[in-house]
Structure 1
Amino acid sequence: MGAPMELPLALARAGVDRAAEHRFDEPWLAAAWSHPSSRVLAVADGQAFVEDTPDGGSRLVLLSTFDAPEHAPVDRFFLGEDGAGTAYFAVSCESLPGRLDGDARPAGLREVGASLDDRDAGLLVHAVALINWHASHGFCAKCGHRTTPAAAGHVRRCVSCAREHYPRTDPAVIMLVTDDQDRALLGRQSLWPEGRYSTLAGFVEPGESLEQAVAREVSEESGVRVDPDSVEYVASQPWPFPASLMLGFTARALRSGSEIQVDGEELDDARWFSREELKAGMEAGTVLPPSGISIARRLVELWYGGPLPEAAHW
C-alpha cells in the first residue's frame, strides 16, 4: 500500500485534557471562569480569530475570561485543562468580538486546521463540533419541548421531561480502494472544483458494520465490488462539518467487479488512477488533490508512497 501513514491527522490532534470530571462541578467551573489564567476561544459561524506565527503556522487568539463576549446570546462551554492547570472555555456568539490588536483575522478549520499546533487544533475542533450540535438540538426529541445546555455544554436537558441529550457524532467511512493492478479508485462530485478527485466516502447506516458500509458505499457510488475480506482500518479523524467522524479504510476490488458505473448522484465521475497517471495529472494541474486537512489526502498519500506532488498554480 505504500509508506505508513504519519499520525496524527490534522484534525485528530489534541493538547488539552478534556477533564470531564469537572463538567458537573458548578463551583469548580465558576472558579475556573473567574481565574485570570483561564483562556476563552470565541467562535462565530465556525470561525475564530487566528494570527500568523513566525514559523509560517497559525495560532488561535485566546481571550481572558474578562475579555470574553458577554452580549446575548452567548453560550459557554468548558473544553478542558492543560498540564499547567490552565482551563479552556469556548463561547459561541453571533459575531466575533470587535477588532483586536495586531494582525488577527477570522478563519475556520478548513483554512487553518493543518497549520495550528496540537493544542489549538484540538480546541477548535472540540469547540466547533459542540457548537454545531447545540445549534441543531434546541428541542427534545422525546417530547418536543425546549432543551437547555448542561454539563458545561456537553449535555442538553429538556425543560419539560428532563430527558438528557448528548452530543451526536455521525460515523462515516472513507476508503482508498485499489484493483489488481494496484490502481486507486478516485471519484468526483459535480459541485467540486473542476478536476478534483478524492476517495469515496459515505455514512454508516443503522444495523451495519463498518466493513459492510465500506462495501455498500463503494458499490452504490461507483458500481465497483469490494472483497469484504480486504477491508482494513487505517485511522480516524473528527470532521465537524457539521458532526461526522471519518473512519479511514483501505480495500481491494474484486477482479470480476472492478468495472466503474457511477451512480450520477453521489458521484459525477470516477476513475482508476495509476501512480504515474495521478502524478502527471497533478503536475499538469488537470487533477486536483483532496484537501490537505482531510483524511482522504492521507489515504491517497499512503497508497502513493509519500507526499503528493506540488504544483505552483494550485
Structure 2
Amino acid sequence: MDTMTRTLVAFHAHPDDEALLTSGTMAKAAAEGHRVVLVIATDGALGLASDDYEGLAEVRLAEARESADALGVARVEWLGYADSGLDGPIPPDPPGQVRFCRASVEEAAERLAGILRTERADVLLTYDAAGGYGHRDHMRVHEVGARAAEIARAATDSQELRVLEATVPRDAIARAVRLVGKVYRFPPEFDPTTFERAFTARADITHRISVRKHIAAKRASMRAHASQASTDGSKGGDRTLAAFLRIPRPLYDVVFGREWFRDPDATVTRGSKAGDGIRNDVFEGLP
C-alpha cells in the first residue's frame, strides 16, 4: 500500500459511465486508502429507461451515489448540466439548465477546476479524444477535462496534476464484444461494429490496471444503475448493461478485470511489444 494518501477525481459524462470505465480503478484507489471523488457532468435524463422510472434525472443521480458507496468514493458532485442525448439534434435546454454540449467549455472547465483545486487532486480521470464510442457528451468531457486541468495547474503553479484518459484498446474490446455476442443477444440499439472504430489504439495505452481484486465492487457499481439495465418492450428490452450483468462471473472477471488509460503527456514508443512500457499503478511516477 502507498504510504502517501492522494486524491483521484473521476470525471464522467453520465451516471453509470463510471461503472463501465473506471469503477475498478476507483475501488482500488479507495481500498488502498486514497481519496476518490466522482464528478458527473450531466443528469443522464435522456438515457433509455423503462416507463417505471419517473423523474429519471433524480433516479440516475441517486444510482450514482449508490454506485459510489459500493466503490468507497468519498464525494459525489454533479456539475449541473443536462444530458445532451446520444444522437440527432441536441434537444432544447430544459428549464433552468443547459445541455452539456451546448455549454461553454470554459465555464464547465472552471466548475471542474474549482473541485480539482478544493480537493488538491493528484489525478484526473477523463475520456480519450474519441469520447470512447463517440457520444457527444463524452467528447465534451475530454475537452472540459483537459481545459480544467490547465486551469487548476495554472492556479497552483504546479504541473503535478496528472490527466489520464479512460479508454480501452480497440482490438481488445472488439474481441470481447464478439465473444459476448456469441453467448448473448445484444439489444437493438447496440452496434458491435462501433467498437472497431472507437476508443484508443493499443500502442497509445500507457496504463493497464488490474482490478480483479475489486471485481465485486465493480459489479456492484454496475448493478446500482438499475434504471439503465432494462427498458420496456417499446424501447427494445434489456440494455447493454443488463447483458454485461448476466455474464457468468468467471467470464465477467476476464472481460472486466482490467481497465486502461492513456496519459496524454507521456511519450509512447510505437511498435513495441504489447504491454511494453505500460504502467500498472495509476499513481506510478507521482512524487
By percentage of residues, which structure has more helix?
Answer: 2
Q: RCO greater where, 1 or 2, for CA within 8 Å and sep 6 or more?
A: 2
Mark yes or no: TM-score above 0.5: no
TM-score by length of 1: 0.25
Larger radius of gyration: 1
